[in-house]
């Protein structure tokens, strides 16, 4: 039986987040779209040259509409905008069906992390000498580098070794391409790293690039649209520790692995460590219910700054939030300026406090 057009529309709105759809096709961070909806912010339209930011998003009924105050032809809902991008007419029956199928094939549904934490994902397997491609309409190609001095030096400052990085699926980048265009080329002054996040049920490789010394705009690049990054590590456990980034998760886990405390080592065995894709996350109701069903205690570590505390105010009835008690706003920065012995003790105390 074929779905009618109204069924397609109902299906998309029920199972797919409109913010995720816009974010994927327009390459705009979800938090920027949410700010437009909430505060009527204006940003530049990525579909045209827009030196005077004229784009915003508005909630009208159950739809989030894209509004360009300078060019009305860019106004519309997700179906109109995706249609413009993939060159299909949303007002044409066959065009509309192609638009819906494109969304379904490229965007992960809201219930990807189900109430039973049953993941549809698999780890990415990679040939270090080869190319890792994401089978995606925006195609990422990553040529893996050897661990050169500049790559090793960056993580050594955080007391993390190569073996542990590879265990956590972190590798250095030699070159990175987006849609066959060179985006990054390794230099000793600006090392780059790829986080291999997961492979979807449709065979797409989901990755994240991290360039620590680049500008804020170029520091990260990813095709991940979930609230979480390493979802292949989700498993039922006693505790869940949600950490604001892959970098902080790797640093915390490495230092905890060096602990000789029986209490800490027991906590580690009973804890699942998951990275958040953004501090400006927007947990759906079914996600919260699924997490609380599978874990006795859920703790969230965020930066001790304005963004971190704003999230705490939003979700403090669901989770326990933790902030680093240090002059530095995050754990990775704290670790960088302190010795290994002091850091192990610091992380031990921090970890126990988070889950007590």
Q: What is the pLDDT of residues 200-245, one digit of tens each?
A: 766 778 899 999 999 878 899 998 878 889 988 988 889 999 888 9
Q: Are 256 and 351 in contact (CB under 8 A)?
A: yes
**Overall average pLDDT of the 4-12 stretch:** 74
Q: At what angle do helices 30-39 and 18-26 cross, to 10 degrees?
A: 120
**185: phi then psi, degrees, rounded to nearest 5:** -130, 130
Share of the chain above pLDDT 70, in %: 86
Burial of 303 (0-12, 13-18, 19+ CB in 10 A): buried
Worst-scoring range by mean pLDDT, 29-43, 57-71, 200-214, 312-326? 312-326
The token pair at 350 is 């921090």
The dihedral sign for the CA sequence 295, 299, 194, 15 = positive
Mean pLDDT (the chain, rounded): 83
262-298, pLDDT tens digit by residue? 988 989 999 999 998 887 766 777 778 788 888 888 8
Residue 353 in this model has a pLDDT that exceeds 60:
yes
Q: At what angle do helices 93-106 and 5-15 cross, to 10 degrees?
A: 20
pLDDT of res. 113: 53
Residue 110 banded pLDDT, cuts 50, 70, 90: low
114-132, pLDDT tens digit by residue? 444 444 567 776 665 444 5
109 CB-side CA count, 13 A: 17
**Overall average pLDDT of the 333-341 stretch:** 81
pLDDT of res. 294: 84
More confident residue, 184 or 104: 184
pLDDT of res. 203: 76
């Amino acid at each position: 039986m074929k779905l009618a057009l109204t069924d397609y529309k109902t299906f998309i709105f029920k199972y797919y987040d409109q913010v995720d759809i816009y974010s994927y096709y327009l390459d705009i961070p979800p938090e920027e779209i949410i700010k437009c909806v909430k505060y009527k912010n204006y940003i530049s339209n990525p579909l045209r040259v827009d030196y005077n930011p004229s784009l915003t998003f508005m909630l009208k009924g159950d739809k989030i509409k894209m509004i360009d105050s300078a060019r009305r032809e860019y106004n519309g809902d997700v179906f109109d905008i995706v249609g413009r991008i993939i060159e299909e007419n949303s007002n044409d029956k066959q065009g509309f069906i192609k638009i819906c199928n494109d969304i379904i094939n490229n965007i992960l549904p809201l219930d990807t992390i189900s109430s039973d934490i049953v993941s549809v994902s698999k780890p990415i397997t990679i040939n270090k000498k080869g190319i890792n491609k994401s089978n995606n309409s925006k195609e990422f190609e990553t040529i893996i580098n050897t661990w050169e001095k500049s790559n090793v030096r960056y993580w050594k400052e955080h007391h993390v070794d190569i073996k542990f990085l590879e265990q956590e699926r972190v590798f250095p980048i030699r070159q990175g391409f987006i849609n066959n265009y060179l985006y990054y080329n390794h230099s000793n002054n600006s090392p780059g790293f790829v986080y291999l996040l997961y492979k979807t049920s449709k065979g797409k490789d989901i990755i994240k690039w991290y360039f620590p010394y680049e500008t804020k705009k170029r520091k990260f690049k990813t095709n991940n649209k979930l609230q979480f990054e390493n979802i292949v590590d989700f498993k039922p456990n006693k505790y869940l520790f949600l950490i604001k980034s892959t970098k902080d998760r790797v640093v915390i886990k490495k230092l905890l692995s060096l602990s000789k405390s029986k209490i800490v080592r027991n906590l580690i065995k009973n804890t699942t460590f998951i990275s958040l894709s953004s501090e400006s996350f927007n947990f759906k109701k079914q996600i919260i219910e699924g997490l609380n069903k599978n874990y006795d205690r859920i703790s969230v570590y965020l930066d001790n700054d304005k963004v971190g505390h704003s999230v705490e105010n939003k979700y403090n009835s669901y989770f326990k939030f933790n902030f680093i008690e240090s002059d530095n706003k995050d754990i990775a920065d704290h670790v960088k300026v302190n010795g290994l012995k002091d850091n192990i003790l610091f992380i031990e105390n921090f970890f126990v406090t988070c889950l007590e």
